[in-house]
């Protein structure tokens, strides 16, 4: 990653933290009743001062810790993140926890498995791993812990 | 000698089963690169919800102790430390394994882990009640400063950048304020319905420690292939034991260094292992043999990283200030059962506290027994492909977060916090101070408000919070921790500038 790209990322991340700190301070000092925001006001001032300092360091190119997110990692991550978000925000409630989890686990396994995707044996291996893993999860949560998980279209 | 009274509780069938299960599971999880002890304990917390407090703590304590020791298996057989605490172990351990002394290295690692661990737990047993009684003298102002100290110490020592460490602590304190205010009932920072009840601590712990590791595994894509483990040949236990005794100097250095480092909040096992390794080399007549498969290196590193475990719980159980990120997660485990560390713990929940501590003592012995016999199995599990680990940890994290309150809101909070933490970590922020802020925030706030009420009836807030020997001492510690971190950051910056300048010539 080039130095300018790294600096730009540092400035962006410091900027986002600064915006959060300003919002927290603003909300703490404008919301009522004041007594409920006594502690948030105290903390928000420290938060704001540190965020300004952090932003200034990033702006001056002094932020040395953390290399940011590189393009290869971002490309590798994107499909996994999409699958995780789809599962958590939609699929789990639509299809039911167990069916959605099985599909999600199998998809993540397929996305990141090093095995050749053209070989049938690898697909069978992934399917077997998924079935065994989900059977363990089902036994653990449904029978041992007796947790009622959301049911959707299926189970 | 109150701790002797509760030994029998550890041998109750369910408790013993949990101790054995936690030890074996912890050894296997610890041996798996990518699964840190902190994450393992965080993922286990939802299961403890369904257990009695002492049983839950036995499981968490066993997992904490054995994941640190289990990391030695992959450090020795695969040269991949299972946890940061095992980095020093891999230096000589793997060289020993390459020379055909893998079994001896594993024996030495587990035996010295147990010696260090037992010493550390004994320190915990004898220091904790005294300090807890001392904590009785603390009023709201002192407890407020102690909570702030917890955040600043971990914020400054656990992070590479002290500004980012403190900022992480501030973010955690802010997150702890989300939800309804306890006294006024006012809404604070509730942006979505999922946050109405505030941020659930367990969901947050799982998200902050597990999801970034899942994303980290995914970010490496499909390029990684499994690493071959070195096969372990049979080796007699008695000869390994004699070897450990013959290296008493390394064992003592590791045990003492680990115990002292464990008492300092925020320093952790990685530092303990590396410092003990370094000191052991300095005092050894065979300095040149270190790094070539020298048993002293394994003994020093492993006795230190396990000796750290017990003392890291001393500040946690007496003052609510966790000594390590894993201890912070354990604090979460205590709080969900309505147990607050400090004098209250040994007065009102003596059975829970002592059963937990006693189980850690017995856990050290179990760890040696199982560690030696399941090392080969653990090494096989350590080679589980990243794709399986990433998917498995993610699904387990989702199920665990949901099961605490049967709420999808908690799952959403966990995922959002986890993704945010992954990005923050890429920019030098750290999860440990954030978690400390989240856990200690309510303690700091309630004592701040209580202190403000007392101050209103007396000489005012400035006098109440900023005067008095104990207040001044705690403020001195807060300022010292920040000043020390500021100074060490400056030194590191100067060193890096010099290296850049000399490299550029």
B402 at interface of A, judged by CB pairs closer than 8 A: yes
Give yes or no for residue B463 having a pLDDT over 80.
yes
Same domain, A80 and A123: yes
**Ranges of H-type helices in A67-115:** 71-86, 92-95, 97-112
- Grade residue B505 by pLDDT with cuts at 50, 70 and 90: very low
* Residues 48-87 in B contacting A (C-alpha not used; CB under 8 Å): 50
Q: Left, alpha or beta for A31 (phi > 0: left; psi -120 to 50: alpha)?
A: beta
Residues A33 and A82 placed together within one structural domain of the fold: no
Q: Which of B185-189, B449-453, B488-492 has the lowest mean pLDDT?
A: B488-492
Pair A138, A95 in one domain: yes
Q: Do A97 and B444 touch (CB under 8 A)?
A: no
Assess whether pLDDT exceeds 80 at residue B289: yes
- As a whole number, mean pLDDT of residues B489-497 equals 75
pLDDT at A147: 76
Q: Regarding predicted confidence, which is higher, B225 or A42?
A: A42
Determine, yes or no, domain membership for A30.
Answer: yes
Least confident stretch, A66-75, B259-268, B274-283: B259-268
Whether omega before A33 lies within 30 degrees of 0, making that bond cis, reads: yes
Which of A37, A59, A81 delimits the end of a domain? Answer: A59
With CB atoms and an 8 Å threshold, state whether B428 touches A149: no
Flag if A63 and B428 touch (Cβ within 8 Å). Answer: yes
Q: How confident is the model at residue B382 (pLDDT cuts 50, 70, 90)?
A: low
| B181 CB within 8 Å of a chain A CB | yes
Examine residue A95 and state whether it is found in any structural domain, yes or no: yes
Q: How many CB pairs under 8 A join A and B?
A: 182
Predicted pLDDT of residue A101? 92
DSSP bridge pairs for B187 = B180
- List pLDDT tens digits, range B323-353: 677 888 888 888 877 787 777 777 788 888 8
- Same domain for A77 and A116, yes or no, is yes
Classify residue A155: in a domain, yes or no. no
- Please list, in sequence order, all residues whose beta carbon lies within 8 angstroms of the beta carbon of residue B191, skipping any fewer than 6 positions away: none
- Best A65, A128, A130 member to test B by mutation, with max B CBs in 10 Å, is A65
Q: Which residues pair with B199 in a beta bridge?
A: none
Q: Which residues of B touch A46 (CB under 8 A)?
A: 166, 170
Answer whether residue A97 shows pLDDT above 60.
yes
pLDDT greater than 80 at residue B426: yes
Share of chain A above pLDDT 70, in %: 95
Per-residue pLDDT of B51-86, as tens digits, reads 888 888 899 888 888 887 888 888 888 777 777 778
Residues A113 and A76 in one domain: yes
Predicted complex ipTM: 0.92
pTM equals 0.81
Give tens-digit pLDDT for B111-140: 999 999 999 999 888 888 777 777 777 888
Q: What is the pLDDT of residue B504?
A: 47
**Measured distance CA(B298)–CA(B317) in Å, rounded:** 30
User: Which pLDDT does position B17 carry in this prediction?
Assistant: 92
Compute the average pLDDT of residues B25-49. 80
| CA pair distance A122, B30, nearest whole angstrom | 28
B405 CB burial (10 A radius; 0-12, 13-18, 19+): middle
In-domain check, residue A34: yes
**A11 and A52 together in one domain:** yes
Residues with Cβ < 8 Å from A137, sequence gap 6 or more?
A98, A101, B395, B396, B399
User: What is the Cα–Cα distance from B403 to B288, expressed in whole angstroms?
Assistant: 53
Average pLDDT over residues B434-461: 86
Q: Mean pLDDT throughout B7-25?
A: 89
What pLDDT is attached to residue B475?
92
Domain spans of chain B, in order of start = 2-221+235-497
Q: How far is CA B214 from the centre of its chain?
A: 19
The nearest CA of chain A is from the CA of B112 a distance in Å of 35
Q: Which helix H or strand E contains B232, and what residues bound it?
A: none
The domain tally of chain A equals: 2
Residues 6+ apart with CB under 8 A from B183: A35, A36, B449
* Range ranked top by mean pLDDT from A23-37, A135-149, B339-353: A23-37
Q: Residues A25-43, buried b or exposed e (16+ Cβ, 10 A)?
A: beebeebeeeebbbbbeeb
Stretch among A38-42, B1-5, B220-224 having the lowest mean pLDDT: B220-224
| Contact residues, chain A, for B167 at CB < 8 Å | 17, 47, 50-51, 54
For B234, list phi and psi in degrees, rounded to 5.
Answer: -70, 145
Q: Say yes or no for a CB contact (<8 Å) between B170 and A37.
A: no
Q: Residue B384 above 80 pLDDT?
A: no
pLDDT of B423 > 50? The answer is yes
Residues on chain B touching A111 (C-beta within 8 angstroms): 222, 387
Is A67 inside a domain boundary? no
Residues 46-105 of A with CB under 8 A from B: 46-47, 50-51, 53-54, 57, 62-69, 72-77, 80-81, 84-85, 87-89, 92-93, 97, 101, 104-105
Measure the CA–CA gap between B483 and B162, rounded to whole angstroms: 9
Contact check, Cβ <8 Å, A36/B184: yes
The pLDDT score that the predictor gives to residue B126 is 86
pLDDT at position A24 over 60: yes
At A2 the pLDDT is: 61
Q: What is the pLDDT of residue A41?
A: 94
From the CA atom positions of chain A, what is the Rg in Å?
23
Pair A47, A88 in one domain:
no
Per-residue pLDDT, averaged over B190-212, amounts to 86
Residues A77 and A139 in one domain: yes
* Mean pLDDT rounded to a whole number for chain B: 83
CB B146 within 8 A of CB B319: yes
Domain end position, chosen among A59, A80, A105: A59
- What would you measure as the largest C-alpha separation in chain A, in angstroms? 65
Residue B185, number of CB atoms within 10 A of its CB: 9
Q: Is the pLDDT of residue B449 over 80?
A: yes
User: Is residue A86 situated within a structural domain?
Assistant: yes
Label residues B191-209 b or e (16+ Cβ within 10 Å = b). Answer: eeebbeebbbbbbbbbbbb
CA distance B159 to B267: 10
- Find the domain containing A99 and state its range: 72-144
Best mutation target, B219, B227, B461, to test chain A (most A CBs within 10 A): B219
């Amino acid at each position: 990653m080039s130095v300018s790209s790294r600096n730009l990322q540092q400035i962006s991340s410091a900027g986002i933290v600064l915006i959060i700190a300003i919002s927290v301070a603003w909300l703490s000092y404008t919301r009522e009743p004041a007594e409920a925001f006594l502690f948030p006001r105290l903390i928000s001032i420290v938060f704001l001062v540190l965020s300004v300092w952090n932003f200034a360091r990033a702006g001056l190119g002094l932020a040395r810790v953390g290399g940011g997110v590189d393009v290869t990692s971002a490309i590798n991550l994107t499909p996994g993140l999409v699958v995780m978000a789809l599962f958590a925000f939609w699929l789990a409630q639509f299809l039911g926890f167990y069916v959605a989890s099985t599909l999600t686990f199998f998809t993540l396994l397929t996305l990141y498995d090093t095995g050749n995707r053209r070989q049938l044996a690898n697909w069978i291996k992934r399917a077997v791993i998924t079935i065994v893993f989900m059977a363990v999860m089902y036994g653990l949560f449904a029978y041992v812990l007796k947790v009622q998980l959301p049911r959707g279209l299926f189970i | 000698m109150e701790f002797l009274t509760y030994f029998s509780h550890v041998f109750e069938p369910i408790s013993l089963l949990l101790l054995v299960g936690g030890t074996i599971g912890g050894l296997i999880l610890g041996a798996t690169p990518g699964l840190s002890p902190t994450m393992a304990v965080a993922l286990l917390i939802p299961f403890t919800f369904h257990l009695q407090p002492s049983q839950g703590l036995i499981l968490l304590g066993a997992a904490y102790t054995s994941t640190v020791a289990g990391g030695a298996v992959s450090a020795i057989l695969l040269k991949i430390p299972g946890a940061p605490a095992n980095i020093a172990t891999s230096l000589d351990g793997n060289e020993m394994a390459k020379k055909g002394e893998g079994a001896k290295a594993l024996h030495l690692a587990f035996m010295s882990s147990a010696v260090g661990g037992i010493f550390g737990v004994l320190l915990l047993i004898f220091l904790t009640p005294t300090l807890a009684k001392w904590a009785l003298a603390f009023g709201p102002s002192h407890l407020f400063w102690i909570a702030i100290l917890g955040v600043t110490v971990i914020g400054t020592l656990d992070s590479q950048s002290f500004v980012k460490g403190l900022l992480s602590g501030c973010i955690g304190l802010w997150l702890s304020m989300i939800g309804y205010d306890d006294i006024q009932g006012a809404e604070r920072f509730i942006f979505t319905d999922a946050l109405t009840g505030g941020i659930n601590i367990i969901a947050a712990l799982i998200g902050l420690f597990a999801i970034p590791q899942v994303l980290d595994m995914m970010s490496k894509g499909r390029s990684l292939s499994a690493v071959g483990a070195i096969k372990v040949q049979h080796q007699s236990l008695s000869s390994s034991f004699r070897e450990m005794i013959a290296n008493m100097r390394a064992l003592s250095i590791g045990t003492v260094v680990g115990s002292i480092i464990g008492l300092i909040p925020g320093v952790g096992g990685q530092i303990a292992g590396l410092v003990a390794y370094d000191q052991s080399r300095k005092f050894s007549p065979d300095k040149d043999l270190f790094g070539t498969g020298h048993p002293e290196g394994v003994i020093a590193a492993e006795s230190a990283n396990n000796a750290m475990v017990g003392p890291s719980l001393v500040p946690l159980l007496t003052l609510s200030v966790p000594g390590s990120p894993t201890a912070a997660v354990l604090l979460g485990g205590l709080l969900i059962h309505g147990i607050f560390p400090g004098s209250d713990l040994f007065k009102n929940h003596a059975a829970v506290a002592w059963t937990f501590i006693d189980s850690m003592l017995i856990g050290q012995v179990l760890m040696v027994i199982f560690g030696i016999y399941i090392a080969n199995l653990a090494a096989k599990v350590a080679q589980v492909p990243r794709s399986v680990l990433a998917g498995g940890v993610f699904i387990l994290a989702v199920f665990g977060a949901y099961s605490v309150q049967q709420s999808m809101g908690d799952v959403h909070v966990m995922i959002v916090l986890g993704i945010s933490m992954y990005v923050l970590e890429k920019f030098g922020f750290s999860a440990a101070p954030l978690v400390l802020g989240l856990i200690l925030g309510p303690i700091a706030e309630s004592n701040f408000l209580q202190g403000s009420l007392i101050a209103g009836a007396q000489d005012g807030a400035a006098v109440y919070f900023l005067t008095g020997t104990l207040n001044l001492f705690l403020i001195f510690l807060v300022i010292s921790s920040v000043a020390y971190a500021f100074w060490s950051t400056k030194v590191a910056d100067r060193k890096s500038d010099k290296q850049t300048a000399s490299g550029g010539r």
